[in-house]
Amino acid sequence: MKIVGISSSPRVKNSNTLKLLNAALEGAKKAGAEVESIDVAKLKIKYCIACDKCHKTGECSINDDFPALLAKLLEADGIIWSSPNYITNVTAQLKTVFDRCPLVIHEQLFDGKYGLSLTTAGGDEIDFILDIMNNFMIQCGGCSIGGVGCSMSRGPEAIEAAIEKSREMGRDLVEAIKEKRQYPEQESRHKAWREGFKYSILANKDHWTHNCDYWIEKGWIKE
């Protein structure tokens, strides 16, 4: 079982959020997973240019570090997303990764994968940031087991508690993967999304050829 942890703070090794990620990865490793930590702030990842090539061919037109990152995410059974709160959102580094994932969304390529989200913030706006990452995972066809966040203004005890909780959630991510845990509410969101997005696939079938072939192969639309 492989778990990839994504760090996205420009503060790189000094990141508070990285402390949560490291704890979650330690927990996952103790529970038996092979783990890898990837810092997207160190990678060269350009903005999506909306060229549509991925929908046509399954491949991105931009030559940078993203395709190799995506290959690692696609190999993983579990993904731990982490970002500090930057202006009530994830960092630009992580958002740029999300924006490069329309193929993942169109073809629901995280189907069967499980996610966990981690954040830190100066203030108390934690859940909103966790929801952004959890919703991304669900939008890509995966399931999220939840998240851990910490307001740095709540002091060292709160940070220690969040580190401990992250370690526990890392272990629980491994359990969720092992037992193929069901999340009926998230699964009904996948179903509802596919039902609605079918019309976009059909409307674009002449140029989203890769997407269209994939949907036919999956039995989500008929030839």
Ligand X SMILES: Cc1cc2nc3c(=O)[nH]c(=O)nc-3n(C[C@H](O)[C@H](O)[C@H](O)COP(=O)(O)O)c2cc1C
**Residue 14: HSE in the Cβ half-sphere, 13 Å Cα cutoff:** 2
The single residue among 3, 17, 70, 133 that binds ligand X, judged by CB under 6 A, is 17
From 57-65, 79-87, 194-202, 214-222, give the range in contact with ligand X by CB under 6 A: 79-87
Question: Residue 83 CB, nearest distance to ligand X (Å)?
Answer: 8
Distance, in Å, from the CA atom of 47 to the CA atom of 202, rounded to the nearest integer, reads: 27
If one asks whether residue 87 binds ligand X (CB under 6 A), the answer comes out as yes
Q: Please report how close the Cβ of residue 84 comes to ligand X at its closest, in angstroms.
A: 3
| Binding-site size, ligand X (CB under 6 A) | 16
Look at phi and psi of residue 32 and say left if phi exceeds 0, alpha if psi is from -120 to 50, else beta. Answer: left
Separation between Cα atoms, residue 153 and residue 158, nearest integer Å:
9
Which positions ≥6 away from 62 have C-beta within 8 Å? Answer: 46, 48, 49, 100
Shortest distance (Å) from residue 55 CB to ligand X:
33
Point out which span in 66-74, 85-93, 138-146, 164-172 binds ligand X (CB under 6 A).
85-93
117 binds ligand X (CB under 6 A): no
Token pair of 101 as six digits: 């994932």
Decide: 84 and 121 in contact? Cβ < 8 Å.
Answer: yes
What is the contact surface with ligand X in residues (CB under 6 A)? 9, 11, 15-17, 84-88, 120-123, 125, 152
